[in-house]
């Protein structure tokens, strides 16, 4: 994922799209490996798009689409793929139908796409989401990002979702370490996470067990639970 926007790097706005994409990709069985966040700079974004799209199956950008001077993602993606920016007749038509006599050249900039870009739509989300090869160009506004995530879910993904279980204990990580090490060793394909919580009276550390094989994930979780001392766990999910 490439997140774009000065407002995020200056702390004016709290980034909200990553967790939405991350959850969706889990359902689609796609491993999110890397997120990069950069400022609204064409060359910087273009370099990142080239690098990330070239080294991953999919790239999702967030932000920098719109008509103003600080919206440079379309131009940057075009630069990354070595193509021009062109006006999509289809999107131009939709803007004309929407704005009618109020349409300005500023509005029309929202119909610009990298040449060769595919307009992805679903019946629920008719305003196109632009995809260039493996790179999905998503908007930064959280309400729109969340709406458009449906398009990604409809178009890509594997047949198998990631499965996750959680176990909550009142033990601290120092005491849990030897127990966790045994599970990590016994279940090399299961991802085991350990997350201390401050100031929650119901538990101190949450342990998570993730993988693609539901039965194996459950076995890893149960092997861990069996190794706990009396009185534990506090709860299981």
Our CB check for a copy of itself shows the closer of 208 and 234 to be: 208
Distances (CA, A) of 228 to 142, 176, 190, 211, 225: 41, 9, 19, 22, 5
Burial grade of 5 (CB within 10 A; 0-12, 13-18, 19 or more): buried
Site mask for a copy of itself (CB under 8 A), range 95-134, x = bound: ----x----xxxxxxx------------------------
Task: Work out whether 13 is an interface residue with a copy of itself (CB under 8 A).
Answer: yes
Cis peptide before 233 (omega within 30 of 0): yes
Which residues in the 60-89 window bind a copy of itself by CB under 8 A?
Answer: 66-71
Distances (CA, A) of 63 to 3, 17, 55, 127, 230: 6, 9, 21, 16, 50
Task: Work out whether 231 is an interface residue with a copy of itself (CB under 8 A).
Answer: no
Q: Pick the stretch among 74-82, 138-146, 211-219, 225-233 that binds a copy of itself (CB under 8 A).
A: 138-146
Our CB check for a copy of itself shows the closer of 16 and 83 to be: 16
The DSSP bridge partners found for residue 194 are: 207
Our CB check for a copy of itself shows the closer of 83 and 180 to be: 180
Which residues in the 161-200 window bind a copy of itself by CB under 8 A?
Answer: 162, 164, 172-178, 180-181, 184, 191-196, 198-199
Contact between 129 and 119 (Cβ < 8 Å): yes
C-alpha to C-alpha distance for 65 and 43, rounded to whole angstroms: 16
Chain residues binding a copy of itself by CB under 8 A are: 3, 6-15, 18-26, 32-39, 66-71, 99, 104-110, 141, 143-144, 162, 164, 172-178, 180-181, 184, 191-196, 198-199, 208, 210
């Amino acid at each position: 994922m490439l997140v774009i926007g000065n407002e995020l790097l200056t702390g004016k706005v709290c980034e909200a799209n990553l967790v939405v994409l991350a959850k969706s990709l889990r359902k689609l069985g796609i491993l999110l490996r890397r997120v990069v966040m950069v400022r609204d700079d064409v060359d910087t974004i273009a370099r990142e798009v080239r690098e990330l799209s070239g080294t991953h199956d999919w790239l999702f950008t967030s932000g920098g689409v719109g008509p103003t001077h600080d919206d440079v993602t379309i131009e940057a993606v075009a630069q990354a793929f070595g193509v021009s920016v062109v006006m999509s007749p289809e999107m131009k038509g939709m803007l004309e139908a929407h704005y009618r006599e109020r349409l300005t050249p500023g509005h029309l900039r929202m119909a610009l796409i990298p040449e060769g870009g595919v307009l992805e739509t679903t019946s629920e989300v008719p305003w196109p989401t632009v995809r260039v090869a493996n790179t999905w160009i998503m908007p930064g506004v959280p309400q729109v990002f969340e709406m458009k995530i449906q398009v990604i879910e409809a178009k890509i993904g594997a047949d198998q979702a990631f499965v996750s279980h959680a176990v909550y204990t009142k033990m601290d990580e120092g005491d849990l370490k030897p127990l966790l090490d045994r599970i990590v060793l016994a279940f090399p394909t299961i991802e085991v996470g350990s997350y201390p919580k401050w100031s929650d009276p119901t538990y101190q550390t949450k342990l998570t067990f993730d993988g693609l094989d539901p039965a194996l994930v459950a076995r890893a979780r149960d092997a861990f639970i069996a190794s706990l001392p009396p009185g534990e766990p506090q709860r299981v999910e």
